[in-house]
Amino acid sequence: MSASLRALVVDDDRLICQLLAEYLAPHGYDVVTAHNGLDGVDRAAAPDIDVVILDVMLPGIDGFEVLKRIRVRSSVPVIMLTARGSERERISGLDTGADDYIPKTFSHRELLSRLNAVMRRVKPASFDNLEEAFGITLDPSRRIVKREGRRVELTAVEFDILCALMRAKGRVLSREQLLQEASQRGPEVSDRSIDVHISSVRRKLGYERTAGCIETVRSLGYRFRNPEEA
């Protein structure tokens, strides 16, 4: 993603808001929150909001009413979340103007995929897939990594880890965050194995004796060096 996008999460569950903010940040989304429907309507109308993630079950007015009021004031894309997810609810949400509708049994990776799909449609100019730094080019859509024009063959887990680190733009990611990135790649991925995968990525990128562009931050995790700090 060529620039950070601002996502408004409207949900009265503060823990869900916090988890979504932590998960989406490395993927280029700056998350702000509202915890009731009326605040959500007001915040969604702000010009800095690029997308809204809207829970159906809210105190005061529910998500459907929030969506109706948002649509009077704004065409901002809205993804609705619900604990029930019945066909009737999905149709009602889409007919009211939602861009997508996800039951709350979703995985974070599914939400990110749907979120990216919506944003590619409405803001294609902000969605440059390529990540480039230190001679490394990563193409998430084709899952290709090159260094100095040479193809680097990574496993699926290694690719996910490198992609998360590059997208974090110099921020430190904990082993737990990196584990979450690769959690759907099979039981062989564990907290301890993250260190092994990082070592393998470094070696394949050509950093056999040094950390290279992937720094170990003691007691915290790893980060992909910010080129501006190099």
Q: What is the pLDDT of residues 81-134, one digit of tens each?
A: 987 666 777 777 777 888 998 888 888 888 888 898 888 888 776 666 678 888
Mean pLDDT lowest among 36-40, 41-45, 55-59, 89-93: 89-93
Instruction: Decide if pLDDT at 190 tops 90.
Output: no
- Mean pLDDT, residues 37-50: 94
At 182 the pLDDT is 72
Confidence of residue 15 (pLDDT cuts 50, 70, 90): very high
| Pairing between β-strand 144-147 and β-strand 221-224 as defined by DSSP bridges | unpaired
Residues 203, 154 contacting (CB under 8 angstroms): no
pTM over 0.75: no
Segments making up each domain of the chain, as ranges: 5-126, 131-229
At 173 the pLDDT is 93
For helices 63-73 and 87-96, what crossing angle results, to 10°?
20
Percentage of the residues of the chain whose pLDDT score is greater than 90: 44
| Pairing between β-strand 5-10 and β-strand 29-34 as defined by DSSP bridges | parallel
CATH of domain 131-229: 1.10.10.10
At 129 the pLDDT is 66
Confidence of residue 189 (pLDDT cuts 50, 70, 90): low
CATH of domain 5-126: 3.40.50.2300
Mean pLDDT lowest among 121-135, 168-182, 196-210: 121-135
Residues 10, 33 contacting (CB under 8 angstroms): yes
Alpha carbon of residue 101 to chain centroid: 17
At 203 the pLDDT is 94
Q: In the block, which residue shows the tokens 């990611």?
A: 173
At 222 the pLDDT is 95
Residues 182, 160 contacting (CB under 8 angstroms): yes
